[in-house]
């Protein structure tokens, strides 16, 4: 079989799953869990409200469209920190690494963790707190592979392990992401991407925290027994992204990219948005975007829809492909004071 048909074959499962996820279902909102899988830890995509399905590249692509992982120079390291909904006390830390394997293949991984700070332990007798504190541990680890075909189609797949736990409760699950990117045009101006995210096993909490002491239900001798409760299982927040973008090269130094993106959520309303990125000499970047929910007049999301960001990516020396970059992204919210992302990238 000729190699040009392989991208079409690999696209078939994405289309198959997409058919089941296409329509948003607001009636099921809140029924899924592990919503940290929808919290973007990377600044560049955050500045465009996570709508860069078609154009995202490198390690950052592991969070949105793993097909973009294939578009790196050779080696890439990315570190990110997020103040999530500033004022809520929640932050995210992320680390990612990618390495080219051969001419067209890339392997990568990323690790994302949430920090909830110290939370007071309360009881019915002491609702103001016992004096003790605890901090939940939420993290996920993804391993991905991507490949670029000669006809400018790249495909990628990612396997992610998800862990949520406290001192006496824990849940673990697996998820699969898959994506496709296509570029065309005289200078690769046109880009199109599809990604399917968070398709995986249901999760369920278990542990000593679900145990309680109760009286012996049978027998004349009274004594205490330990009973285990079963918690309800929950699905992962599966979603489908479809995006496109076009680069307008105003001259040799100035580029303007416009993009649009549609997100179909399995457990909430669908979202539609657009954004713009301006680049000067591929060193300085400005970004802004707007995203809103469909199937309703009022935006029920905590985000107001507005996002903005900027970045600087400079070579270590003139004419080198080895670069150091820093990006900042902001997404406005109501309530709280928005989410603030900052990322540091080293590309070798």
Domain positions in the chain: 3-347
CA 149/CA 134 separation, integer angstroms: 49
116-120, 210-214, 311-315, 323-327: least confident range = 210-214
CATH number of 3-347: 2.40.160.40
* Number of other residues whose CB lies within 10 A of the CB of residue 218: 5
Give the pLDDT score at 68.
96
In this predicted structure, the answer to whether residue 150 has a pLDDT above a threshold of 50 is yes
Task: Give the containing element (helix H, strand E) for 16.
Answer: helix 6-21
Residue-wise pLDDT for 132-144, tens only, equals: 888 899 999 999 9
Residue-wise pLDDT for 264-300, tens only, equals: 998 888 999 999 999 999 999 999 999 998 875 555 6
Residue-wise pLDDT for 168-208, tens only, equals: 899 999 999 999 999 998 888 999 999 999 999 899 999 88
* Confidence grade of residue 212 (pLDDT, cut at 50, 70, 90): confident
Strand partners, 261: 243, 273
Give the pLDDT score at 19.
45
Percent of the chain whose predicted confidence (pLDDT) is above 90: 66
Q: What mean pLDDT is reported for the chain?
A: 88
Q: Which residue, 314, 79, 83, 34, is CA-closest to 197?
A: 34
Give the pLDDT score at 187.
87
Alpha carbon 158 to its chain centroid, in Å, reads: 12
């Amino acid at each position: 079989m000729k190699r040009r048909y392989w991208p079409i074959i690999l696209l078939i499962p994405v289309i198959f799953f997409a058919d089941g996820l296409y329509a948003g279902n607001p009636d099921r909102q809140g029924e899924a869990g592990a919503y940290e899988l929808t919290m973007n830890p990377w600044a560049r995509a955050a500045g465009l409200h996570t709508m860069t399905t078609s154009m995202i590249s490198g390690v950052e692509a592991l969070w949105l469209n793993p097909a973009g992982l294939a578009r790196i120079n050779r080696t890439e390291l990315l570190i990110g920190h997020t103040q999530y909904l500033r004022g809520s006390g929640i932050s995210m830390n992320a680390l990612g690494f990618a390495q080219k394997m051969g001419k067209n293949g890339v392997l990568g991984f990323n690790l994302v963790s949430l920090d909830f700070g110290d939370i007071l332990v309360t009881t019915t007798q002491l609702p103001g707190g016992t004096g003790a504190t605890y901090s939940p541990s939420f993290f996920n680890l993804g391993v991905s592979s991507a490949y670029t075909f000669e006809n400018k189609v790249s495909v990628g797949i990612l396997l992610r392990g998800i862990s949520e736990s406290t001192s006496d409760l824990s849940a673990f699950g697996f998820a699969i992401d898959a994506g496709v990117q296509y570029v065309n045009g005289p200078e690769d101006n046109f880009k199109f991407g599809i990604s399917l995210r968070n398709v995986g096993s249901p999760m369920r909490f278990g542990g000593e925290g679900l145990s309680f002491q109760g009286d012996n239900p049978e027998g004349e001798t009274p004594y205490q027994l330990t009973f285990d409760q079963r918690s309800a299982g929950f699905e992962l927040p599966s979603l489908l992204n479809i995006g496109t973008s076009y680069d307008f090269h105003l001259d040799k130094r100035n580029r303007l990219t416009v993009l649009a993106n549609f997100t179909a959520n399995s457990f909430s309303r669908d979202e539609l948005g657009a954004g713009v990125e301006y680049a000067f000499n591929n060193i300085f970047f400005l970004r802004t975007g707007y995203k809103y929910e469909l199937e309703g007049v009022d935006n029920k999301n905590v985000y107001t829809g507005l996002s903005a960001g900027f970045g600087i990516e400079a070579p270590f020396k003139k004419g080198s492909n080895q670069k150091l970059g820093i990006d900042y992204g902001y997404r406005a919210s109501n309530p709280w004071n928005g989410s603030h992302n900052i990322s540091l990238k080293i590309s070798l």
